[in-house]
Structure 1
């Protein structure tokens, strides 16, 4: 009976902690993964420049949105089903590091350089997302591999 009690207690603690996760904690945990997370969606809006990228977390979704016409280029919204669409304060550099980490985790430096120079084609949805991230961040990669 004791193992069942501990199992139930462990499950209860995980559920309670999951419901009370702060978005800044979620962003911090994603950053520690060095790009080993899933990008669940990408949306380009019809306004001619706003693009949102969805990053899957263990307990919800983090939407990172690049705005073309504002002083603050990036905004973030966290949706954990308890507090849907809650705005998150996130630094521009944190957004770039998070998204570029995802690209660098999946592609070689030579492939990233090809994507950046426009000599690469998108053969999959993931390639298209990676190319979009590179375009949105305007970052120059220096190959070390």
Structure 2
């Protein structure tokens, strides 16, 4: 029940999705008892969530690490670049859309559909409305993966 002590998600628009992913061991909070849902998500964090949701292989443990996920993403053509340059870099909505299209091997994924669902269901207006080059938040990424897998987008 470690999600109960994360005081910054109690009234957050993506609280339910965040709690679901914490319970499943896909994401964790920080040691200061926060989750920081509105913090920009890094490429490392994005790929570890993606890898855990889609069961990418872990190398040395039961749980996929950021290093495992980024190396898998680089080696399988989801993203280009050096690990050290990617791990802490924020990810844009446009980049996430491209990655998800590669994952699904289809151009049918559109970030706009996710952001429209956020607005309609959660009354949350994503920064992507202003530009898909803006950076995605931790909560937005979790919400996207949640609806893609729970609701079969």
* TM-score, length of structure 1 as denominator length: 0.25
* Rg (Cα) greater in structure: 1
* TM-score, length of structure 2 as denominator length: 0.24
Higher relative contact order (Cα pairs below 8 Å, separated by 6+ residues):
2
Where is the helix percentage greater, Structure 1 or Structure 2?
A: 2
